[in-house]
Structure 1
Amino acid sequence: MTPRDIQRAKVYAAEEFVRTLFDRAAEHGTRAIEFFGTQMTLPPEARFATVAAVQRYVDDVLSLVGSRWPAAGPLTVRARRGTTAAHYERDENAATIAVPARTSWALRELVVLHEVAHHLEPCDPPHGPQFVATFCELAEAVMGPEVGHVLRVVYAKEDVR
């Protein structure tokens, strides 16, 4: 029996908040924000124009963090027809991220790293504490310590374990 993914909605809500922080910082032309009473500067977030660009990015990320997660193996990126979700899928032969190629919300670094974290930590439930810790560590390693900090604080605020 597979454990119920009871944190899924909380994880998605927290990550939506973090993406909004990045969007607002970009809209205002400054990366400096006040975050729960602390001044900090967010790094730029990569945006992708094509599925091929996402694949190159994923390959680079896996190369960067390969020593930390040596069992992860290769990860393929493919286009998805729908526009409402990106997702990770694994079978006995391959691991794949499917991203909506016609919508910009999914072609961004934070969404892609979320899916890569599923690849690095294939756990049940899919959005449990192990996944959350892996995503924070991955975002910190790839985007910088500020992003790991922001994710951890927002997860805690949303009562994500």
Structure 2
Amino acid sequence: MTPRDSQRAKVYAAEDFVRTLFDRASERGNPVVEFFGTQLTLPPEGRFGSVSAVQRYVDDVLSLPAVRGRWPGGPPLTVRARRGLSAAHYERTDAGAVIAVPERRSNWALRELVVLHEIAHHLCDAQPPHGPQFVATFCDLAEAVMGPEVAHVLRVVYVKEGVR
């Protein structure tokens, strides 16, 4: 029996807040944001125009020495198109591990933070899917790939939303 994914909504709310923070910084053309009384400089967030671009990014992330060192020996991860426009998801099948992303450009799904969330599912097979182990994995992955500022923002916003 799979444990209930009780903090899924809180995880999604926290990550939505973080994506909005990145969106507003991008819209202003200024990576410096006021974050709970502190100024932080956010790194640029990658955006993708195709499924093949997401696949190249996934391959690059999984081949980074920091990622290979922290999560060695993971199985390959394939990216495929999905019909919906508003969601990305991770699945393990008999054929292997897959991230499904919308075929057409979507501001929500074809972006680095969303793809890293799905890669974190690949690296953390713990149950429930959005439990404490997943949250720690995503924060560690974001730090390894995007930098410590992103991991800090994620951790603070997760706490604010009541995520463990």
For normalisation by structure 1, the TM-score amounts to 0.98
Q: What 5-or-longer segments of structure 1 have no aligned partner?
A: none
- Structure 1 stretches of 4+ with a deviation exceeding 6 A read none
Q: Distance in 1 between matches of 2:30 and 2:8?
A: 31
Cα RMSD for the two superposed structures? 0.8
After superposition, where does 1:144-159 map in structure 2 within 5 Å?
Answer: 144-159=147-162
**How many aligned residue pairs are there?**
161
> 1:128 aligns to what?
131
Percent identity between matched residues is 77
After superposition, where does 1:81-160 map in structure 2 within 5 Å?
Answer: 81-102=83-104, 103-160=106-163
Letter aligned with residue 69 of structure 2: S
Give the Å deviation of 1:53: 0.4
> Does 2:22 align with 1:22?
yes
Q: What 5-or-longer segments of structure 2 have no aligned partner?
A: none
Deviations 1:5-58 (A, max 9, x none): 000000000000000000000001100011000011000000001100000000
> 1:12 aligns to what?
12
Deviations 1:60-103 (A, max 9, x none): 00001112111322100001001121000002330000001222
